[in-house]
Amino acid sequence: MSSQLVTLVRSVDVETDRQVLVEAGKVDGIAPGERIWSARFDGDRAYLVTFEQIDPLWVIDVADETNPTILGELKVPGVSTYIHPLSRDHLLTIGLGPANEDGTGLDWSGTQISLFNITDPAVPQQAATLRLSPVLEDEANMWMWSSSEATYESKAFQYWAPKSMLAVPLSTYRYVDLYENGRYSWSYEYISKLMLVKVNQSDGTLSMHGEVNHSSMYDSGGERYWWDSNDIRRSIFMGDFVYAISSAGITATNLTTLEETARIVLPQDQISEDLRYDDVAVAEGAEGEGEERDRSTSSDEEEDEPEERDHSSSGDEEEGSSSPSRDR
- 321 pLDDT tier (thresholds 50, 70, 90): very low
Pairing assessment for the beta strands 125-132 and 69-76 based on DSSP bridges: unpaired
Q: What are phi and psi of 249, to 5 degrees?
A: 170, -175
Has residue 326 got a pLDDT over 80?
A: no
Each residue of 292-307: pLDDT tens digit? 444 444 444 444 544 4
3-state secondary structure of 18: coil
pLDDT of residue 63: 95
Range scoring the smallest mean pLDDT among 11-20, 176-185, 216-225, 262-271: 216-225
Each residue of 211-260: pLDDT tens digit? 999 998 886 445 555 456 789 999 999 999 999 999 889 999 999 999 99
Cα gap 108→35, rounded to integer Å:
18
199-209 average pLDDT score: 97
- The total number of residues shown for the chain amounts to 328
For residue 301, give every residue at least 6 positions away whose Cβ sits within 8 Å of its Cβ, in sequence order, or none.
none
pLDDT of residue 267: 81
Has residue 87 got a pLDDT over 90?
A: yes
153-158 average pLDDT score: 96
pLDDT of residue 219: 61
- 286 pLDDT tier (thresholds 50, 70, 90): very low
Q: What are phi and psi of 65, to 5 degrees?
A: -65, -15
Cα gap 1→202, rounded to integer Å:
39
pLDDT of residue 318: 40
pLDDT of residue 1: 63
Is the separation of the CB atoms in 115 and 92 below 8 Å?
yes
Mean pLDDT of all residues in the chain? Answer: 81
Q: b or e along 223-238 (b: 16 or more beta carbons within 10 Å of the residue's beta carbon)?
A: eeeeebebbbbbbebe
208 against 133, higher pLDDT: 208
Which domains does the chain show, CATH number per domain?
1-132 (2.130.10.10), 153-294 (no CATH)
178-191 average pLDDT score: 80
Global pTM reads: 0.75
3-state secondary structure of 154: helix
pLDDT of residue 180: 78
3-state secondary structure of 323: coil
Each residue of 117-155: pLDDT tens digit? 999 999 999 999 999 988 776 565 666 678 899 999 999
Query: H/E element holding 117?
Result: strand 107-117
3-state secondary structure of 49: strand
pLDDT above 70 covers a percentage of the chain that reads 75
Is the separation of the CB atoms in 303 and 296 below 8 Å?
no
Each residue of 33-85: pLDDT tens digit? 888 999 999 999 999 999 887 778 999 999 999 999 999 999 999 999 999 99
Has residue 200 got a pLDDT over 90?
A: yes
The per-residue DSSP string of 250-311 comes to EEEEETTT--EEEEEEPPSTTHHHHT---------SSTTHHHHHHHHHHHHHHHHS-S----
